[in-house]
Structure 1
Amino acid sequence: MTTATSTIAQPRLRLRTPEDILAGTPYLFGFHPSDSIVALGVRGRRLRFHLRDDLRDQCEDLDTLAEGYADMFHRQHVDHVVLIGYGPPGRVEPLLLATAAAMRRQGVAVHEMLWAHEGRYRSLVCDSACCGPAEGVPYDVTASAIAATATLIGMVALPDRATLVDSLAAPTGAALDTAERAARDAQARLARSADTPADGLAALDTALRRTRAGGRLTDEEVAWIAFLIHSLPLRDEAWMRIDRDGEPDLEVHERLWTDVLRRCAPTFAAPAAMLVSYAAWRSGNGVRSRIAAERALDADADYSAAKLMTEILDRGLSPQSLPPIVRRDRRPAPARRRVARRRKR
């Protein structure tokens, strides 16, 4: 099947053919899309920005929706996009064609446009009979070398978005009882603490060190850091460390705060959820970032940092478009030192 697609280099995957793209896309988002439109923005030969949205009913203004997608990718300064529509042809093709036309009006080239449904795909940029039958060409993402490579390097593709949402869900049943009991103990401990900033910094250091070593916090430690992280100086210290440590450690930070989010009392989940959202966004996983931001707002509808993350995601800002919170060559002052300076003032 001859197509116009060039090689897309993702930091850990190289997608050359339509089959590669279809096999790799679930790992980019963390789940297998269905009834979705997907756009992959490429600059040079590297993936710079990607988007997934639910298919819309035909009664909606598809042109307005398509213009919104095109404007978002135009702001990312990508050279070209690959569009994929997952779902029945009658639902997929109108939105794909409208989006492609909008992209071209914005000066963004469309190098490939794929329809995929029930194990078959077809290119919509190829009119030749050699491009395959109208009903599509069979494909199997599980048999792809791309899927094997992604799995080998630790990337995950869950069955659907609902499963991804569940992966960041609050504890239930006996786990919820444990979390709430630990939260009560943490409250009592906090009341006895003589130096909360020092306790917070020590808890953060311990949590990151143990997570890097492949360990997990105890239930009591989860509740304690979930409580302490409500302090803005400590929350900001954890936030800045995500940037200071950089790409090699993004997975460590995301794993730590995901564990805290999954195991802490839901009432106190907002800061941990926001940190998961930020780390996921910095690593390029916008879908996971949005789910985590929604978890933060479920816990505290007025949590300003979660609102900031939602605005970043709504505007389609990529990590490359915003500088880190702190320069990586400068360590932020320890929380207790910053608090001491404020007290002197």
Structure 2
Amino acid sequence: MTAPPITLRSLAELLAVIPHLLGFEPAHSIVVMALRDTKLSLTQRMDLPDPDRATEVAHTLARHVLKDEAEAVLLVGYETTRGESLPLLEALSEQLRTDGIATRDRLVVHDGRWRSLDCDRPTCCPPDGRPLPAPAEVASTLAEFVGHGSAPLPNRTALAQLLEPGPAAAEFTTLLDRGRKARTTLTREQALRRLADVWARILTIDTDPISLGDVAVALQSLTAIPVRDGIIALLVPGTLARDALSEDVGALLEQITDRLDAQGQGLEDADRPAVQARLVLLCQHATDWHAAPVLTVLAAYAWWHGDGAIARVAMDRAPRADPGYRLARLLQLMLDERIRPDRP
């Protein structure tokens, strides 16, 4: 996720923040945090490779750091077996040194404790490390994340499971059949108004649950590529010019925007957690037949807001649902190449 502006006063606070940046508690991983002008510019996580692949993986990670134009990095190895992160930490710090990028520190986290590889003072970094900070010790640091709705999941598997079809997906086909019959009796204007009503309710930031009927209409609408592109244009500014949309889709977006404006609501960054939660809910209701479009909408939205973890797990499911879905393949390429949104 895009980090709210905070000041970190210690390495312990940095370690407390990492799960919020990733969306889950990392394990058997390396986390690379790139710094530019003393600000965090990139956070990337990768599973620890076999030791004989450490040099190869180090080259890949260093390439992304160079592309980010970082001035320095912090490296964190998360271990399930003591010492398993050392080959990659050594190879990566050496590669970055060759590339002219400073490594500020190399930390290792294992069994609830952490230590710095670059500190040899027993009073500061005892051989067995220090305990990870308790929540109460870093409450003020994490308050901004919690206020934005951040709640890291136990692991990446749990994050991926968020986007798998839930029990309600079984009702989806029945609801679609009813929706198709209802649409045959609607005029063009009525159909546009109905779809605008549905999407405005989905994107409204409140606690009202979304009806299964609205879920079915929204998911079915995204199977039409012009509508899918229009919703992405609405949620991810600058990806597609409004004048490139069809007349009907342009009218749809205008009606959705009018309804949100009437409620005094826009689609601001502060609303991201709630909007993203609604899109996740749609994914949970989607059978594989309808999953790829909504997964790509979610991935594009998460990518735009810097939530690479959600974008990646969405793109993990999309090709399983529809291997030939072109926009999913494009988004996956953007994620693999660490292409970042051009945001102000």
TM-score of the two chains, using structure 2 as the length reference: 0.83
Deviation at 1:186, TM superposition (A): 2.6
Q: 2:73 aligns with which of 48, 66, 81?
A: 81
Q: 1:31 aligns with which of 24, 27, 48?
A: 24
**Does 1:13 find its partner at 2:21?**
no
Q: CA distance change for structure 1 residues 128 and 210 in 2, over 3 Å: closer, same or farther?
A: same
Question: Equivalences for 1:230-241 in 2 at 5 Å?
Answer: 230-241=223-234
Contact 2:58 2:92 in 1 (8 A): yes
Q: CA distance change for structure 1 residues 83 and 73 in 2, over 3 Å: closer, same or farther?
A: same
Question: Equivalences for 1:1-345 in 2 at 5 Å?
Answer: 10-59=3-52, 61-87=53-79, 88-143=81-136, 144-145=138-139, 146-172=141-167, 175-195=168-188, 199=191, 202-204=194-196, 206-214=198-206, 215-244=208-237, 245=267, 247-319=269-341, 322=342
For residues 62 and 89 of structure 1, the distance between their equivalents in structure 2, rounded to whole angstroms, comes to 16
What SS does the aligned partner of 1:287 have? helix
What SS does the aligned partner of 2:50 have? coil
User: Which residue in 1 is equivalent to 2:256?
Assistant: none
Deviation at 1:39, TM superposition (A): 0.7
Contact 2:236 2:300 in 1 (8 A): no
For residues 98 and 131 of structure 1, the distance between their equivalents in structure 2, rounded to whole angstroms, comes to 25
Deviation at 1:253, TM superposition (A): 3.7
User: Which residue in 2 is equivalent to 1:340?
Assistant: none
What SS does the aligned partner of 2:106 have? strand
Structure 1, unpaired ranges of 5+: 1-8, 325-345
Which whole-Å deviations, capped at 9, do the CAs of 1:194-252 have from their partners, x for residues lacking one?
A: 43x87357524542345324133211111111111111211111001112345344335
Q: CA distance change for structure 1 residues 40 and 185 in 2, over 3 Å: closer, same or farther?
A: same
Deviation at 1:47, TM superposition (A): 1.6
User: Which residue in 2 is equivalent to 1:331?
Assistant: none
Which whole-Å deviations, capped at 9, do the CAs of 1:262-289 have from their partners, x for residues lacking one?
A: 1233311111111111111111111110
Contact 1:120 1:135 in 2 (8 A): yes
TM-score of the two chains, using structure 1 as the length reference: 0.82
Letter in 2 for 1:313: L
For residues 275 and 147 of structure 2, the distance between their equivalents in structure 1, rounded to whole angstroms, comes to 21
Which whole-Å deviations, capped at 9, do the CAs of 1:66-93 have from their partners, x for residues lacking one?
A: 0100001110111211110000332111
Structure 2, unpaired ranges of 5+: 238-266
Q: CA distance change for structure 1 residues 110 and 141 in 2, over 3 Å: closer, same or farther?
A: farther
Letter in 2 for 1:279: Y
Contact 2:115 2:129 in 1 (8 A): yes
User: Which residue in 1 is equivalent to 2:252?
Assistant: none
User: Which residue in 2 is equivalent to 1:6?
Assistant: none
What SS does the aligned partner of 2:86 have? helix
